[in-house]
Structures are given as C-alpha cells and as structure tokens.
Amino acid sequence: MNRIIKKIELASTIKKIEMEAPEIAKKIQPGQFIILRIDEKGERIPLTVVEKDVTKRTISLIFQEIGKTTKDLGQLNPGDYILDLIGPLGHPTEIKNYGESEHSGQVIAIGGGVGVAEILPVAKALREAGNQVIGIIGARTKELVILEKEMREVCNQLFVTTDDGTYGEKGFVSDILQRILSNHPVSSSPRPSDLVYAIGPLPMMKVISELTRPYKIRTIVSLNPIMVDGTGMCGSCRLEVAGETKFGCVDGPEFDGHLVNWDLLILRNKRFLEEEKIADGK
C-alpha cells in the first residue's frame, strides 16, 4: 500500500508518479482529490488524482516542485513508500451533457500550469457524457507545457498558450477565452458556451470568472486553498462564497467562480509565505 510504482519527469519541475492505492482507485471520481503525508515529520498536502487504474489498483498524481514537501516528494523513486494517503476527498464534478433537448452541450475546459493535470480527467468525463469540449491550456514557457497530447485526445478542439510565446499562441489562457467570447455578442442567444470549467493559479481563475460574468455562463472553478486535515475541522481552507463561509475540503473543491470572494482567498493563501521560505531553507 502507498508504494510508488512509476515516476516520470514531465518537465524540469513537474513530475508524475503512479502509486498503489487500491481502495482509492475503486472510488475516486473526476474532480476529487487526496491528501498525502510523506513521513512522520511531513506536512499534509492535497493533490488531484489525474488517472486511476482499477485493474492495477493504482492512482497517478502530477505535482510541481515549488515548496519543501513537493520537492521532497519529487526525490522519491519507484519502490519508495508514502506514509499516509487519504481519499477520495471533496465532491466529484457534476458530469452530464450540458446541452438542451437533442443538442449536445459545449464546455470550455481551461487549465493553467500544473492545473492542466487536474482539468484532464474532467474534460475526458465531460466529453464522454456527450459534450463538445473546447480545451485551453497554458504555461509560462514551452518546457512547462504538459499533457498536450492527452488533452487533444479528449477535446474536440484545443488551444495552447505560453506567456513568452515559445510555443502555441503567445499570451494567457484568458486571451483565448476572451477571443471566443468576443466573437459572440453578449446579447446573442444561445450563449457561446454552456459551461466554463477552470483550474489554475488563483489570479487566472479570477480573470476567467470576470470574463464570463457578462455572458451569464456558468463558471466552475476548482480551488486549492491551504488545507491541513481535509475533513473541515481545522478551518484552514475556509473561503467566502456568496457571502457565506465555506470549506474547500468538504464543500468543494469546486465552486461557482462568480460567487467566490477572490481578493480574500488570494490574501489568505499568502499567510504562510514566510514560514514556507524558512522550511525551504530560503
């Protein structure tokens, strides 16, 4: 149990591990996540399950080495064990055909950075439910673009962007969304999309939510606030949605992007920056 089977380097700081987790593999659904702890002295971190293999009884996780825990996780190799693994956690994505009557739905699935790893299983499930899926993925530079091939396989159309223009279109994922929306006047009916689903950095998801607001397009964002226990007891992952306090671990991780208090969430996610620097030896 919890043994790493395979490890792949997708980019210089992004790794994929496949590990034994038979009970989680049987139950995990798109949109849900796990929380792991590497060893007795380690912190607990949430990660989305990218793939599952019920036959092999394994799950796959993709993470970026940006702090002490993810860097330590990146040092593990096949044959190593992870101490604690808990899941599935959170509510699964609502998977259905978002169209009306005989018309299939159209969904725009947006992933920024390592968020592409989280959007992949959701986009795949929405496509299998009969929706037309337009994918938009982005990264800072060409070397950090991940899962493009896999996204092309599950999307009817895929756009790729890089901040520096070294691959795909130069710019941000929000630029592509803005272009799609601009070609469809606000007053037009039907809407340019039945659903927008976005996962990535908080500022990116905030921009996406503001872009879709005038069109009244349902916009779902998958949030990853700082978590500790994953059961709603510690309150660390609390956020404000429609003026009410919610907990990312038990009420989410998905929320209506138009109702999230983004400024408060972004501020709360910065509250341990100094401690993170100390832990990382900076």
What does the pLDDT profile of the chain (282 residues) look like in tens digits?
799 999 999 988 999 999 999 999 999 999 999 999 999 988 899 998 999 999 999 999 999 998 889 999 999 999 999 999 999 999 999 999 998 766 789 999 999 999 999 999 999 999 999 999 999 999 999 999 999 999 999 999 999 999 999 999 999 999 999 999 988 766 555 667 899 999 999 999 999 999 999 999 999 999 988 888 788 888 888 999 999 999 999 999 999 999 999 999 999 887 666 656 666 665
Strand partners of residue 107: 133, 195
Any domain includes 237? yes
Contacts of 82 (CB under 8 A, 6+ apart): 2, 4, 19, 36, 37, 38, 73, 76
Determine contact, residues 33/89, Cβ cutoff 8 Å: yes
Output the pLDDT for position 233: 85
CATH of the domain at 35: 2.40.30.10
Output the pLDDT for position 59: 97
Any domain includes 274? no
Domain holding 215, by residue range, is 106-268
Are both 48 and 155 inside the same structural domain?
no
Are both 111 and 85 inside the same structural domain?
no
Any domain includes 10? yes
Q: Among residues 37, 55, 89, which one ends one of the domains? A: 89
Output the pLDDT for position 247: 93
Any domain includes 101? no
Output the pLDDT for position 135: 97
Are both 113 and 144 inside the same structural domain?
yes
Q: Among residues 38, 59, 89, which one ends one of the domains? A: 89
Any domain includes 85? yes
Are both 61 and 141 inside the same structural domain?
no
Output the pLDDT for position 101: 66
Output the pLDDT for position 79: 97
Output the pLDDT for position 67: 87
CATH of the domain at 232: 3.40.50.80
Any domain includes 275? no
> What sign does the CA torsion over 76, 80, 84, 88 have?
positive
pLDDT digits (tens, 9 = 90+) for 162-217: 999 999 999 999 999 999 998 876 655 566 789 999 999 999 999 999 999 999 99
Helix, strand and coil in the chain, % to nearest 5:
30, 30, 40
Are both 33 and 119 inside the same structural domain?
no
Q: Among residues 27, 56, 89, which one ends one of the domains? A: 89
Are both 60 and 127 inside the same structural domain?
no
Output the pLDDT for position 242: 96
Determine contact, residues 9/15, Cβ cutoff 8 Å: yes
Any domain includes 95? no
Are both 243 and 167 inside the same structural domain?
yes
Look at strands 14-20 and 58-64 and give their pairing. antiparallel
C-alpha–C-alpha distance, residues 272 and 69, integer Å: 14
For the chain, the domain total comes to 2
Other Cβ atoms within 10 Å of 54 Cβ, number: 12
